[in-house]
């Protein structure tokens, strides 16, 4: 028996032969909405040591007269890459099997 003939048999049983099919909608196994998130959360970074950071060291020996000492400029750069990847979020809103249908 195909779906259409089964539908007419049910129609005849509940509404009588030749009755017009009602326009309600039957729902079964409606899983609804599924929400998922993969937030990484917070990252705590402790002490960061990027080297001695002592600047320029200059040694000056015995001198006489006017002496000028220039240590020059100092630049130190520390680059950090910190990530909090939460991974993959998976959700499922399937209704399942063997659910009861209701008419709305």
Q: What is the pLDDT of residues 5-26, one digit of tens each?
A: 777 777 777 777 766 655 677 6
pLDDT at 78: 83
In the predicted structure, residue 69 carries a pLDDT above the cut 60? yes
- Answer yes or no: is 51 within a domain: no
68 contacts: CB under 8 Å, gap ≥ 6: none
- CA distance linking residue 83 with residue 81, whole number of Å: 7
Tell me which residue range forms the domain holding 5. Answer: 1-30+96-104
Q: Is residue 7 part of a domain?
A: yes
pLDDT at 39: 77
Number of domains in the chain: 1
Model pTM above 0.75 = no
Of 10-19, 38-47, 89-98, highest mean pLDDT: 38-47
């Amino acid at each position: 028996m195909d779906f259409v003939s089964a539908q007419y048999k049910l129609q005849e049983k509940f509404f009588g032969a030749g009755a017009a099919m009602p326009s309600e909608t039957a729902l079964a196994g409606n899983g609804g909405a599924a929400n998922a998130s993969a937030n990484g959360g917070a990252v705590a970074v402790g002490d960061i040591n990027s080297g001695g950071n002592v600047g320029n060291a200059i040694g000056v020996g015995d001198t006489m007269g006017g002496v000028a000492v220039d240590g020059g400029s100092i630049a130190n750069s520390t680059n950090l890459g910190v990530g909090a990847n939460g991974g993959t979020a998976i959700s499922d809103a399937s209704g399942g099997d063997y659910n009861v249908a209701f008419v709305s």
